Amino acid sequence: MRVASWTVIPQRTVRILQLAVSANSSNERKVLTVENTIAQLKNTTPVVRYILKRLIPKARKAMKNWKETRSLGLKAYHMIKQAYWQLAECMVKEGYLPERDLIFFLTHQEIGCVLHRTNPKLVTRAARRRKVYPNLFELRFDDISIGKPKPLKDPGPVPLSLEMKGLPMCKRKVSGRARVARTLEEADSIKVGDVLVVRSPDIAWVPYYAIISGLVTEIGGLLSHGAMIAQEYDIPCVVNVKEATTKFESGDYIMIDGHTGIVRKLQTDF
């Protein structure tokens, strides 16, 4: 909710579109007919081809409906986000908050208390939360914790020869310069052909899929958002690579193997 939408700050999206157009100006994406799709399949029996001929149109229609539903959901999400920003603006004008951004560090109940002026210390508390947020954002925890979760320790120096394993999402290999991005602000430095290494991309990262050559995520599975969008863009992707954003650094030359799920740091750097 706190991250501004592209309609509010369109410069970022415009830059990505410019890079995507310049990188793919000569490429055309072919749309296969049902017959062409079936013809590309190997070792299929007449019965299988008969079934696929009737199932593929239904699957494509279902995908179209799913995308339209997702689009409507994103529009609703955007409206809710803008409502929060408008509420914050009104609270600043009327003296309830010193800055709009502080509203995202208050719970709904606390926002109500601020509006009714029942607890004047909440604004100070929100400011403290915002101050420590960058440090908390960097903490890492085990996927499963018993009792009070404890942050993981610093993994230490990274060896020159590094190989990690995750879940492969595409049967292809790709090598390129790693671009480690933990926030959208860091993503602004992504260039055409980079292999993006992130913790867990959400919908805000989608515009960057048009310019990257591969994707590595620390969190995710077969149905995770990053994996599904990468498959839509036909980008080699390996997910669930633990501590990838701490082991790899921007500028490393890495190879990701969509067959085995291996992510390897190569000796040559850019």
Could you write out the three-class secondary structure of the chain?
Answer: CCCCCCCCCHHHHHHHHHHHHHHCCCCCCCCCCHHHHHHCCCCCCHHHHHHHHHHHHHHHHHHHHHHHHHHHHHHHHHHHHHHHHHHHHHHHHCCCCCCHHHHHHCCHHHHHHHHCCCCCHHHHHHHHHHHHHHHHHHCCCCCCCCCCCCCCCCCCCCCCCEEEECEECCCCEEEEEEEECCCHHHHCCCCCCCEEEECCCCHHHHHHHHCCCEEEECCCCCCCHHHHHHHHCCCCEEECCCCHHHHCCCCCEEEEECCCCEEEECCCCC
φ, ψ at 246 (rounded to 5°): -100, -30
For residue 207, the tally of other CB atoms under 10 A from its CB is 19
CB 149 within 8 A of CB 157: no
108 catalytically annotated: no
φ, ψ at 259 (rounded to 5°): -85, -45
Beta 195-198 vs 253-257: how paired, if at all? Answer: unpaired
User: Catalytic pick from 78, 108, 116, 225?
Assistant: 225
User: Catalytic amino acids?
Assistant: 225
